[in-house]
Amino acid sequence: MTRARPAPDPQSETQARRLRETTCLQSELAELTLQADLEGLHRRVIEGVRSLLDSESAILVLAEDRNPGWLTYKTLDEQSGWAFQLQPDEGRGPVSDCLRSGNVINLEGSSVQINFDPSCTGETPIQARSLIAAPLKTSGVTLGAILAVNCSREHYSASDEELITALASTAASAMQTVRLIQEYRVSRADLEAGGWELLESHNFLRALFDHLPVSLYIIDADYQLVAVNQKRIAQMPAPVSAEALSGQVCYRALFNRDEPCIGCRAHETLAQGLITQREERRRNDREEVSDWEISSYPIRDDAGAVSQVMLFEQDVTEKRRLEAILVQSEKLAAVGQLAAGVAHEINNPLTAIIANAQILQRELPAGSDLQESVDLIARAGARAAQVVRNLLDFARKEEYRLRPTDINLTVERAVELVQHELLAHGIQLRLDLDPKLPTLLASPDHLQSVWLNLILNAIDSLEKTPGWISVSTRKKHREIQVVVADNGKGVPAEHIDRIFEPFYTTKSPGRGTGLGLSVSNRIVKQHGGHIQLESQPGQGSAFTVILSVP
């Protein structure tokens, strides 16, 4: 019999597509920047925003340097031709708000109005249902804004805001660099006639050098710094000028070392003229770890010999994080296929085991010596079935049927399911439920599974006598908080950051799959909430589930 494979996760596919398109877009913008192709840069930014945010239209709004108070609107029509419109900045509306505040504006509904007509008639505005706008800002200068209009989904999400913010920052830096290159070219032509070429060229080259979006410095054959751009200077622990760094040994001035950095390949570039690349992991004063990609390029003198080395340092921490997310998505797809096979091959014999155990429970006399063994078989079968369900729930996108829910009632039902475990282990349960909690639009079955998992975890952590577990609910501001606390062994500090990872568990072999907290965390996030953990080894833990009240 042919078994249907589980459908791929649309969210993972969308995330993977966005990562690929974002990487491609960044590469194309970098190439257009080097070509100083401002028009091509504008076109690619509009196309990229429209594609990545699944929007009907994207509009580039540029501040007019020669006409302060006026804005140029640019977009691409259906034939991929340019549509322009020059308008005064009226000081109100989403575009003006974005430019004034420097923040992302995300609107939907009837309040979204844009007085811009791509056909350039100036009479019919775009019928906007949703809009997100991000400022094009770099080095304290606002060049304009980028707008995405009419999302193909219901509205633009928080992840869309993060994406358009990152794209706007990259685009603004590229546009400013292209402007500087173009200004430099114009200025150089003028300086050739005026005799000030050397001085002005130095100024523009320095500006271009400082505005490059990567850390850059140049060293000579003795590892002495010749030039350092502002991006690299900004990483210094204390403020320092480029002039103060000039002439100092790079590894001492930049890295506080007495010898060349481990893994440095600048000597290969000096000796052989090779272009090299390596990766390095760094830790700052706040113990934050970042990944860097370091490249070295030769600078040759008039005779062709390598006299200096240019070193590029690029922070690739976010890139590596996105790559890890993509790898995790691929793993989840494989887990989904595995889960389908496991469910088919294991659930059928488990059903027979549990059903026959229940029959034996009814047939055996109440005082039979075999009653305890049959009960153990039934509980073990139910636990195995729950492991399969957890695996399936984790690997697929579940349907959440939301309805008005009494949070206290879901807690009480979860407690009823573990009463036997509490009595068997001699654990005291402290229940403190706020009777004035408002109802919440939620999936009661999913939330009940969260409370059940947290209580079972608390039972497993109890090694003290007497042990206690506290379950309380309360309303704080516009939040409902459910707290499950215990006086168990607690969670070591080195494990706290990983407890919500799939398949990660601190329990002994055979006592946990590592899916309980991961599934619970995902359920809470699907309800727009989050989980906090406070724990002291040897003293206990407190998990707080926070759900927002509309």
Structure confidence at residue 492 (pLDDT): 78
Topology of domain 214-315, CATH: Beta-Lactamase (3.30.450)
Q: Which residue has the higher pLDDT, 293 or 511?
A: 293
In the predicted structure, residue 70 carries a pLDDT above the cut 60: yes
pLDDT at 252: 85
Give the model's confidence band at 471: pLDDT under 50 very low, under 70 low, under 90 confident, else very high.
very high
Confidence check: pLDDT of 2 > 70: no
How confident is the model at residue 344, as a pLDDT? 62
Q: Does pLDDT of 121 surpass 80?
A: no
Whole-number Cα distances in Å, 513 to 347, 384, 432, 463, 506: 17, 11, 30, 20, 10
Residue 209 has pLDDT above 80, yes or no: no
113 or 237, higher pLDDT:
237
Q: Give residue-wise pLDDT tens across range 130-142.
A: 889 999 998 888 8
Q: What are phi and psi of 274, to 5 degrees?
A: -85, 145
Q: What pLDDT, on a 0 to 100 scale, did the predictor assign at position 484? A: 93
pLDDT at 1: 47
Q: What is the pLDDT of residue 5?
A: 52
pLDDT at 215: 81
Give the per-residue pLDDT at 57.
87
Please state the domain extents for the chain: 36-183, 214-315, 399-550
pLDDT band at 120, cuts 50/70/90? very low
Read off the pTM: 0.37
Q: Which segment of 35-44, 317-326, 337-346, 447-456 scores lowest on mean pLDDT?
A: 337-346
Residue 470 is predicted with a pLDDT of 92
Q: What is the pLDDT of residues 269-288, one digit of tens each?
A: 888 888 888 888 887 777 77
Cα separation, 20 vs 18, whole angstroms: 5
Which is more confident, 462 or 324? Answer: 462
Dump pLDDT digits (tens) for 393-433. Answer: 655 555 677 889 999 999 998 888 788 778 878 888 899 99
pLDDT at residue 362, rounded to an integer: 79
399-550 CATH: 3.30.565.10
How many percent of the chain have pLDDT more than 90? 7
36-183 is a CATH 3.30.450.40 domain: yes
More confident residue, 486 or 13: 486
Of the pLDDT bands very low, low, confident and very high (cuts 50, 70, 90), residue 322 is: confident
d(CA 471, CA 186): 72
- Give 397-404's long-range contacts (Cβ < 8 A, gap of 24+): 397/9, 397/10, 397/11, 398/446, 398/526, 400/443, 400/446, 400/526, 400/527, 401/443, 402/441, 402/442, 402/443, 403/441, 403/442, 403/443, 403/444, 404/439, 404/440, 404/441
Decide: helix, strand or coil at residue 300: strand
Tell me the C-alpha distance between 172 and 475, whole Å. Answer: 44
pLDDT at 118 over 80: no
When computed from its CA atoms, the radius of gyration of the chain, rounded to whole angstroms, is 31
The residue-averaged pLDDT of 49-71 equals 86
d(CA 499, CA 36): 48
In this predicted structure, the answer to whether residue 165 has a pLDDT above a threshold of 60 is: yes
pLDDT for residue 124 is more than 70: no
Question: Quick one: CA torsion of 155, 160, 162, 168, rounded to 10 degrees?
Answer: -110
> What percent of the chain is modeled with pLDDT above 70?
79
Is the pLDDT at 352 greater than 70? The verdict is yes
The mean pLDDT of 41-49, rounded to a whole number, is 88
Q: What is the structure's pLDDT at 123?
A: 40
Q: Is the pLDDT of residue 507 over 70?
A: no
pLDDT confidence band for 122 (50 / 70 / 90) = very low
Same CATH fold assignment for domains 36-183 and 214-315: yes
Band the pLDDT of 341: cuts 50, 70, 90: low
Q: Is the dihedral of CA 233, 239, 242, 246 positive or negative?
A: negative
